[in-house]
Structure 1
Amino acid sequence: MKKITIAGLLALFTLPAYPQQHFDTPDKAATALVDAISTHNETAMNELLGDNWQQYLPPEGADPEAVARFLRDWKVSHKIISEGDIAWLDVGASEWQLPIPMLKTAEGWHFDMASAEDEIQTREIGRNELSAIQAMHAYVDAQEDYYQRFQVYAARLLSSEGKKDGLYWPTQPGDEPSPLGPAFSPAVPGMGYHGYQFHIIPDAKKEGFALIAWPVKYGETGIMSFMIDQNDKVWQANLGELSARKAKEVKAFSPKDPWQEISQ
C-alpha cells in the first residue's frame, strides 16, 4: 500500500466551517474532491469535508510530494469501490485507497470524516514507524562515518556545545557535514522525530553501539519500540503504555523476549 499522508493532503487548506456538500453519486463526490485539491479551493474543501477535518492536520503541515503523487495517481487511474451505502476511492496503478469513505444518506453521498479517524491514525502510525526504522539505519551509517574520522564510536547523538563528541554538530558553509543531520534534535523539546524519541543504549556490545527508539505518545504517534545494533539489525517490541519508561530503563543491548527481529 502506498504510504501517502491524507492529513498532508488536507493541510493545504484552512478554516472555517461550512455545511457539508452531498452528491448524487460517489463518483461526483470524488471528482469534486480532486478538483478542490487541484485548484487549492479552500471553500470547496470545507464544504466537502465538513467542519471537523482540521483536527487531522499534522503539526508539520502539508506534504507537497504526497499531494502531487495523489493527483498524478488520479490521472493514471481511479475507481470507486462500493459496498452498500459506503464507497471508497482507489487511485493509481497500485490502487491506493483514500482513507476517507463516502457515505450515502437520504441527502446523497458525502465524505465521512468521523469514520476515517481510525484509518488515518493507523496509517500515520505506520508511516512514523517506518520513518523511525529508516532513522535507525541512518544512525548506523553515521556511527560508521564517525568511527572513520575519530577511530571511536560516538556516545552521544548531539555533540556538546563547541565539541564533536556526538554524531551531530552545527557546521558553517564549506565545512564537512557532521555524520548525522539535525533531525534527531527537534525544535520543540519532546516532539521527537516523526513521532519517535531516540536514545543511545549506554552499555552496548564491546567495541560496538546500539540505539533504542520509542513513540512520543504510545498509540497516537506509534505503537512499536525499536532497537538496532552495529550489525544494522532491527528488533521491535510493543512495550505498551509505559513504552517511554521501559525504553529509558534499557541499559544494555540484549534483545530478548519480547523483542523480535524484523525481517528486512
Structure 2
Amino acid sequence: MKKLMISGWLALFALPAFAQQNFTTPEKAATALADAVSTQNDTALNDLLGENWRQYLPQQEADPEAVARFLRDWKVGHKIIEQGDTAHLNVGREEWQLPIPMLKTAEGWHFDMAQAEDEIQTREIGRNELSAIQAMHAYVDAQNDYHQRFQVYAQKLLSTEGEKDGLYWPTQPGDDPSPLGPAYSPVEPDAGYHGYRFRIIPDTDKQGFALIAWPVTYGETGIMSFMIDENDKVWQMDGGPLSAQKAKAIKAFAPEKPWQEIEQ
C-alpha cells in the first residue's frame, strides 16, 4: 500500500458554485496561492479558492505547522505537472502533491475545488488505513509485552476499571506504562481510532492472538478491513457497506478468501 504523506489538509463538505480567479498559466495560479498563504491574505484566498476555502485548507491559527510545512516545502522546490487540461502543484524534496488540482477552461486556469473534495477524502482514507495497520502492529507488540508480564495474552483492549485485564489501563506518575497507550482509549465511547474500530478475535486455546479492524464509516473513514495475528502478518478485505456486520460476525481467526495477505 502506497504511503501517503500526512498533510493536514481537510475536506468535510460539498461546495456551492462560486466565481474564482483565473490565470494564464498554472504556474501563475500556484504562485498566487503560495503568496496568499504566506501573507494569510483572506481576500486573496477567497478569490483563488472561493469563500469556503477554510473547509479545505488549515488556517494559521488552527494548524500553524501545516501552513509552515507547505511554505517551507515551496521554498525548497516546486513544479507544475500538467496532464491535458489539469495541472497539479508538487512541492518539496519529496514532491508532495497539493490535493487541489488546477483546471483549464476558456477563461484560464483556476483551482478546482470540486475535484479537491474527492482527492482529499481519498487521501484521508489512505491515511486512516495506514494508521489502522500501524495500530495493529502496535497491538502485536503490546500482546507480547503483556505476555511477558502476566504469562497470558490479554483478551481485552481496555482493562476493567481498577484492573489490568486488558492491554491499556490508566497509570500514575512513576508507574510502568501499560502495553498500549491512552490513544487506544477514546474520549467518546465507540468513537474509533483514526477512522477505525478494533476488536480482539477470541482465541479458544490461548496459544495465540488476533485482532480485526474495520472502518467506522465505510467509504468515508476507510475502505479495507484488516486482520493481524501473533506472527505480525496482516490480511485485508473490502467488506463493502456491511464491513461492520461482517467484522462482528467473525468468531475465530481464519483468513480465507476474500481475505488477502498484505506484502510488507
Cα 1:219–1:9 change in 2 (3 A) is: closer
Aligned 8 A contact 1:34 1:71 in 2: yes
Q: Shift in Å at residue 5 of structure 1?
A: 4.5
Aligned 8 A contact 2:153 2:206 in 1: no
2:51 alignment partner in structure 1: 51
Aligned 8 A contact 1:27 1:80 in 2: yes
Q: Following the alignment from structure 2 to structure 1, what is the Cα–Cα distance between the partners of residues 177 and 117? A: 41
1:211 alignment partner in structure 2: 211
Q: Shift in Å at residue 50 of structure 1?
A: 1.0
- Partner of 1:133, secondary structure, is helix
- Partner of 1:33, secondary structure, is helix
Aligned 8 A contact 1:5 1:66 in 2: no
Letter in 2 for 1:4: M
Q: Following the alignment from structure 1 to structure 2, what is the Cα–Cα distance between the partners of residues 233 and 36? A: 46
Letter in 2 for 1:72: R
Q: Matched residues, percent identical?
A: 77
Q: Following the alignment from structure 1 to structure 2, what is the Cα–Cα distance between the partners of residues 43 and 121? A: 26
Aligned 8 A contact 2:78 2:89 in 1: yes
Aligned 8 A contact 2:9 2:120 in 1: no
1:107-140 Cα offsets, whole Å, 9 max, x none, are 4322111022222111111111011000000001
2:110 alignment partner in structure 1: 110
Cα 1:63–1:209 change in 2 (3 A) is: farther
1:168-190 Cα offsets, whole Å, 9 max, x none, are 11111221111101222222333
1:180-222 Cα offsets, whole Å, 9 max, x none, are 0122222233331111000001136641111000000111111
CA RMSD of aligned residues (A): 2.6
For these two proteins, the number of residue pairs brought into alignment is 256
1:25-57 Cα offsets, whole Å, 9 max, x none, are 321221222233334444433332213444557
Q: Following the alignment from structure 1 to structure 2, what is the Cα–Cα distance between the partners of residues 53 and 205? A: 55
1:197-256 Cα offsets, whole Å, 9 max, x none, are 000011366411110000001111111000001111111111111000110111101111
Q: Following the alignment from structure 1 to structure 2, what is the Cα–Cα distance between the partners of residues 194 and 117? A: 19
Aligned 8 A contact 1:9 1:63 in 2: no
Q: Following the alignment from structure 1 to structure 2, what is the Cα–Cα distance between the partners of residues 258 and 80? A: 40
Letter in 2 for 1:171: T
Cα 1:205–1:112 change in 2 (3 A) is: farther
2:93 alignment partner in structure 1: 93
TM-score (norm 2): 0.86
Q: Which runs of 5+ in 1 are unaligned?
A: 12-16
